[in-house]
Amino acid sequence: MNRQVVLLVESASDLRDLNGLILREAGYHVEIVPPNADPVAFAERTRPDVLVVHIRPNQPADWEILDHLDANPQTAPIPVVVISSSERVVTEAHAVPIVREAVVMPYDIDALRGAVARALGNPPPAAVLPPSQRASSPTLALAGTLLSEHSREIVLRTIRRLQQTEPFKSHFAELSPALVGNLPVILGAVVTGIRRNLDPVLVTAPPAIRDAIQDHVALRIRQGVNADSVIEEYQVLDDQILGFLRDQIGQIHFSALDAFDIARMAGDFIAQIERVTVKGLLAQTERRRAAPPR
């Protein structure tokens, strides 16, 4: 019987032993990143089914691990569970596309087990989008790496910009998982589409991506944010991608023309996501009209 493999990225020996015991008793095969080993290289080599990563407050090196896991094409399809003693850290971790669950310490046995099980059933965009079907290029690969390494930053910039305007300003005074929503999944789909040189329609074709788009709209409507504002939200995300790409001009092997081409590609993906959003909203309206009166 092949057991699913959990890789623990944990520097504290007591937590490493405890979490390893909890997950082994839950039936998983547990691997542990050895001391002084590169967690990203170790994950690339062992290819676990899920990673559990401890992010400590005020430890930039821990964030670098998460960002590099997201940027590596071999590890980007692996779902990650983040654990931390800080609610703020956990909320920010939700902004990374590969992070599918997060748990605040102290937590009980069921919380960790449940988070790992849910993450296994909810893979990141890189795991559900199709492989490249046409030639890519070093520029696309570079852009994908740069965007992936800064996905958290781009999502958080988008959120901060939204919080300055209505209706988000009135509904979200502080950063929260509810404010983050499925924006990281949507950005992750865009970045993976760029890296793999996919057609926009293919980026929104997987049911998991379409569900994430529709769930994001449904969440915003429940929060009191109208559908038009959701479209504006995607446009703010597109603006932040463009701003980031502009900042990369002059870096090694990345020119103004490269930035323009990648920004145009990202804009095509965002436009396709908006079309899927509008189509889903129209379908919901038609279903409500067709429903018999109560």
Q: Mapped to the 3 state alphabet, what secondary structure does the chain carry?
A: CCCCEEEEECCCHHHHHHHHHHHHHCCCEEEECCCCCCHHHHHHHHCCCEEEEECCCCCHHHHHHHHHHHHCCCCCCCCEEEEECCHHHHHHHCCCCCEEEEEECCCCHHHHHHHHHHHHCCCCHHHHCCCCCCCCCHHHHHHHHHHHHCHHHHHHHHHHHHCCCCCHHHHCCCCCHHHHCCHHHHHHHHHHHHHHCCCHHHHCCCHHHHHHHHHHHHHHHHCCCCHHHHHHHHHHHHHHHHHHHHHHCCCCCCCHHHHHHHHHHHHHHHHHHHHHHHHHHHHHHHHHHHCCCC
Tens digits of residue pLDDT in 172-194: 989 999 999 999 999 999 999 99
Over residues 275-284, the pLDDT tens digits come to: 999 988 877 6
| Residue 129 located in a structural domain | no
- The answer to whether residue 59 is domain-embedded is yes
Give tens-digit pLDDT for 216-254: 999 998 999 988 899 999 999 999 999 999 999 987 778
Q: What is the number of domains present in the chain?
A: 2
Percent of the chain residues past pLDDT 90, beyond the cut = 78
CB atoms within 10 A of CB 280: 18
We report the CATH number of the domain holding residue 221 as 1.10.490.10
Q: Are residue 143 and residue 75 in the same domain, yes or no? A: no
Is residue 145 packed enough to be buried (19+ CB in 10 Å), middle (13-18) or exposed (0-12)?
Answer: middle
Same domain, 73 and 181: no
What's the pLDDT at 36?
A: 86
Over residues 4-27, the pLDDT tens digits come to: 999 999 888 888 899 999 999 999
Q: What is the mean pLDDT of the segment spanning 37-53? A: 96
Q: Write out the residue range of the structural domain in which residue 98 sits.
A: 5-123
Sheet of 29-32: strand order equals 29-32, 5-9, 50-54, 80-84, 99-104
Note the pLDDT tens digit of each residue in 192-212: 999 999 999 999 999 999 999
The DSSP bridge partners found for residue 31 are: 7
Distance CA 204, CA 278 (A): 13
Q: Compute the average pLDDT of residues 28-48.
A: 94
* pLDDT confidence band for 294 (50 / 70 / 90): low
Q: Is residue 28 part of a domain?
A: yes
Asked, for residue 128, whether it belongs to a domain, the answer is: no
pLDDT given at position 293: 66
